[in-house]
Amino acid sequence: MDVRHLIASELPRVRRYARALMVGDPHGADDLVQQTLERALERTHLFQPGTNMRAWLFTILHNVNANNRRKLAARPREVWDEDVPEAAFAIAPDAHGKLELRDMARALDQLPREQRETVLLVSLEGLSYKEISEVLNVPIGTVMSRLARGRDRLRDLMQSNPITPTLRRVK
Amino acid sequence: MNAKTDPDLDAMIHAFVDGELDAQGEDAVQAHLESDPNAAQRAADYRRQRDGLHELYDDVLSEPLTAEMRATLNTPVGHRRNSILNAPVWRMAAAIALFVAGGVGGWWGHDVTTPDASNMTAQSSPYVSRAIGAHVVFAAEVRHPVEVAASEEQHLIKWLSTRLGRNVRAPKLAEAGFELVGGRLLPDDAKPAAQFMYENQTGQRVTLYVSLDGAPADTSFRIIEQDDTSAIYWLEDGLGYALAGDLPRKDMLKIARLVYDALIA
């Protein structure tokens, strides 16, 4: 499989991660994936065959995202009218399990970005701690502490979420 | 409930859940969990988070790639930046694809917002808020909504083109039920800008703002909202366009498409 096909086959994963990373902004998430795709195609010569394409793409995405944040810092905030949170949390509140999911999306949104990145790369994308330390360019110890803080925060947020008090699990 | 636990144990629980331990480590943690309900609960919670994330986001895996992603994947690297992506034909095709998608259902807004990614970050929109401001002020004006009326369209176009130093046009929007009312010259951060106003039979108005505040690179449509007014804006050939109005998104997009098609024709 050539590099281009390899990239194409991993793109849905990259998109899933971007969607979760940018909770409530699916458009921005796809923009980010598109930029990542273009950057990756420009740099295929830097990809070492046999290494992990998925981690490579996540690394590029991470760097593109960091650049974007720097550039966008001074931009006016754009607001979408189609109920942005509902798009992200579009889950029918008809079952207890589903409600918990919606709480989760909200809680995820409240995590500091570093913790959200780490939790998602571990729990959603299944990368190893070592891979994540390379993607985010931080020591493994940092990955582990972000993960621990992120997961515990997520736990607390979901347990204390005031939106669905009647459905909180009783322990 | 969340009693502080031994940080080493905590790290082990995470590593256990994530499959980072060797067999020996797994056995040790497993044994511990059986005698420590609190720790076992943590492990279960972390697993449930993982399952929840998959349930929330795995649907993305089966979404078709955007038209832009597919185009990028199908275009040889050397050609992308300088010719195909920026060529009007490609952009028109993309715009049409967006609107075809738009007709299908609730997801159209999703595609419409996809800009040419190369300039997503470069694009800034200070003129857009001025366009919205000008819309709010002048669209509400009953007696003097425009400086030059549509009855003098040729003069209007010539005048605004001269003042902007660029050929500007007032696209025909009859297909969407809107007729040109006229236009005016506006200050746009120390530069001149043009505003064209259109009206339909029910008196609804939309304005098209043309700013010199463009950027070197073109973009596709983006949308900004301010109270009840929305603006669809894009950059094309060094000019910044903003279509402002109070209509439903679907109608705004239809008009924006007419404008876009007319301008690149």
Cβ–Cβ under 8 Å, residues B17 and B46: yes
- Residue B212 inside a domain? The answer is yes
Lowest mean pLDDT among A25-34, A160-169, B95-104: B95-104
Q: Is the dihedral of CA B242, B243, B247, B251 positive or negative?
A: negative
Question: What would the pLDDT profile of B149-180 be if each residue is shown by its tens digit?
Answer: 898 899 999 999 999 988 888 999 999 999 99
Measure CB to CB from residue A81 to each of B45, B55, B225 and give the nearest one: B225
Cβ proximity of B156 and B162 under 8 Å: no
Which chain A residues are Cβ-neighbours of B117 within 8 angstroms?
Answer: 31, 34-35, 37-38
Q: Is residue B79 part of a domain?
A: no
**Beta strands B205-211 and B239-245: pairing type?**
antiparallel
What region does B260 belong to: left with phi over 0, alpha with psi -120 to 50, or beta?
Answer: alpha
Q: Locate CATH 1.10.10.10 in chain A.
A: 92-167
Contact B224, B133 (CB under 8 A): no
The angle formed by the CA atoms of residues B252, B255 and B258, to the nearest 5 degrees, is: 150
CATH 1.10.1740.10-classified regions of chain A = 3-72
Q: What is the pLDDT of residue A98?
A: 57
Cα dihedral A13, A93, A101, A171, rounded to 10, equals -170
Domain span at residue B16 reads 7-60
Residue range A128-136: average pLDDT? 94
Is residue B2 a part of any domain in this protein? no
Residue B95: inside a domain:
no
User: Average pLDDT, stretch A105-111?
Assistant: 88
Averaged confidence pLDDT in chain A:
80
A residues 117-146 lying closer than 8 A (beta carbon) to B: 119-120, 122-124, 128-129, 144
A101 or B86: which carries more pLDDT confidence?
A101
β B148-149/B179-188 pair status:
antiparallel
Q: Are residues B147 and B246 in the same domain?
A: yes
- What value does the mean pLDDT take over residues B234-245? 89
In this prediction, what percent of chain B has a pLDDT beyond 90?
38
Residue A91 has pLDDT above 90, yes or no: no
pLDDT at A77 > cutoff 80:
no
Paired strand residues for B233: B222, B242
CATH of domain A3-72: 1.10.1740.10
Q: What is the CATH number of the domain that holds B178?
A: 3.30.200.100
* Higher-scoring residue by pLDDT: B84, B226: B226
Write the single-letter amino acid at B243. Answer: L
ipTM for this prediction: 0.82
Instruction: Kindly state the tokens that stand for B219.
Output: 């973009």
The answer to whether residue B69 sits within a structural domain is no
List all residues of chain A from 61 to 80 with a beta carbon under 8 Å from chain B. 67-68, 71-72, 75-76, 78-80
pLDDT given for residue A160 in this prediction: 63
Task: Say yes or no: domain A92-167 is CATH 3.40.50.970.
Answer: no
Q: How many domains does chain B have?
A: 2
